[in-house]
């Protein structure tokens, strides 16, 4: 059910009363499965529902100077278009990375429960703040770090976010990313992205086999990346 990961996400940051949790558990929704590369929403669209990620990953992206730039990844429990409750037009494309399962929750229901519960509104408010902080961190990551710490920072962030919803197992997580996805998120060529991954493996900081990523020496990887998870409200 769509509420499970969402509740886990909200509870990792703030508390939820049983009454508010019940409102989330009973929210109306339509479940859709999206194929790899399929768009949930395009720039300029005006959605009438919010997407709750149930399974898989999404990216926020746009074409800039004839190349794709990914500016965010979204994991289970995230609502990547929560802002459309107040800013109705999409400013970027939302794309499925690998296969994803999404629950679409009507704006009308979310507006109703948020208007009736100050505590629930308070629980959702940090979500927008966190995603804004992630966006700022990505800008700094692209602008100030070399390729190696840049990619290391991305992996540390994904691991930390997955950990909050119980999807990190002893430093291991699964991602459907291609090298092109990594390149588009880190502002690198695919060749450079591949070399950077191999260097992290050579230093025995990570293992990356298929879709499984192991952070072998997480502390050292975070040190290399200058990763501080406080912007995730951890």
% of the chain beyond a pLDDT of 90: 72
Q: Domain check: are 39 and 145 in the same one?
A: no
Q: Domain check: are 7 and 100 in the same one?
A: yes
Q: Domain check: are 100 and 163 in the same one?
A: no
Q: What are phi and psi of 153, to 5 degrees?
A: -65, -40
Closest CA to 103 of 5, 220, 202: 5
Rounded mean pLDDT of 6-33?
A: 86
Any domain includes 185: yes
For the cut 80, the answer to whether the pLDDT of residue 1 exceeds it is: no
Lowest mean pLDDT among 8-12, 50-54, 151-155: 8-12
Q: Domain check: are 25 and 114 in the same one?
A: yes
Find the CATH number of the domain harbouring 22.
2.60.120.10
Three-state SS at 215: strand
**53-94 confidence digits (pLDDT tens):** 999 999 999 887 778 899 999 999 999 999 999 888 998 999
Any domain includes 21: yes
Q: Domain check: are 31 and 96 in the same one?
A: yes
**100-133 confidence digits (pLDDT tens):** 999 999 999 999 999 998 888 888 888 888 899 9
Q: Are 49 and 107 in contact (CB under 8 A)?
A: yes
Question: Kindly report the CA angle at 154 between 74 and 128, in degrees rounded to 5?
Answer: 40
Any idea what DSSP says for residue 14?
A: S
Residue the block writes with tokens 């499970």: 4
pLDDT value at position 127? 84
Any domain includes 163: yes
**171-226 confidence digits (pLDDT tens):** 999 999 999 999 999 999 999 999 999 999 999 999 999 999 999 999 999 999 99
Any domain includes 133: no
Q: Domain check: are 103 and 203 in the same one?
A: no
Q: Domain check: are 108 and 174 in the same one?
A: no
Q: Domain check: are 85 and 164 in the same one?
A: no
Q: Domain check: are 6 and 93 in the same one?
A: yes
What is the domain range of residue 37? Answer: 2-122
Closest CA to 81 of 56, 106, 114: 106
Any domain includes 131: no
pLDDT value at position 234? 66
Q: Are 179 and 190 in contact (CB under 8 A)?
A: yes
- Structural domains in the chain (count): 2
Any domain includes 175: yes
- Which residues, in sequence order, are bridge partners of residue 49? 106
Dihedral sign of CA atoms 230, 7, 105, 73 in order: positive
Any domain includes 210: yes
Three-state SS at 123: helix
Q: Domain check: are 145 and 117 in the same one?
A: no
Find the CATH number of the domain harbouring 227.
1.10.10.10
Any domain includes 127: no
Cα separation, 56 vs 174, whole angstroms:
9
Q: Domain check: are 89 and 176 in the same one?
A: no
Q: Domain check: are 19 and 117 in the same one?
A: yes
């Amino acid at each position: 059910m769509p509420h499970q990961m969402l509740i886990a996400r909200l509870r990792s940051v703030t508390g939820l009363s049983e009454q508010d949790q019940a409102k989330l558990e009973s929210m109306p929704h339509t479940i859709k499965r999206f194929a790899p590369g399929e768009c949930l929403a395009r720039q300029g669209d005006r959605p009438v529902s919010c997407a709750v990620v149930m399974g898989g990953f999404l990216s926020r992206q746009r074409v800039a100077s004839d190349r794709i730039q990914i500016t965010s990844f979204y994991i289970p429990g995230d609502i990547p278009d929560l802002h459309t409750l107040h800013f109705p037009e999409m400013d970027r494309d939302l794309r499925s990375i690998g296969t994803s399962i999404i629950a679409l929750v009507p704006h009308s229901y979310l507006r109703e429960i948020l208007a009736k519960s100050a505590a629930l509104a308070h629980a959702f408010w940090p979500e927008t703040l966190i995603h804004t902080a992630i966006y700022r961190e990505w800008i700094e990551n692209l602008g100030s770090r070399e390729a190696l710490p840049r990619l290391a920072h991305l992996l540390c962030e994904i691991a930390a976010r997955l950990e909050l919803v119980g999807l990190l197992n002893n430093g291991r997580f699964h991602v459907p990313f291609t090298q092109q996805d990594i390149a588009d998120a880190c502002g690198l060529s695919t060749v450079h992205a591949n070399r950077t991954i191999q260097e992290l493996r050579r230093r025995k900081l990570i293992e990356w086999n298929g879709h499984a990523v192991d952070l072998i020496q997480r502390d050292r990887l975070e040190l290399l990346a200058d990763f501080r998870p406080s912007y995730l409200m951890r």
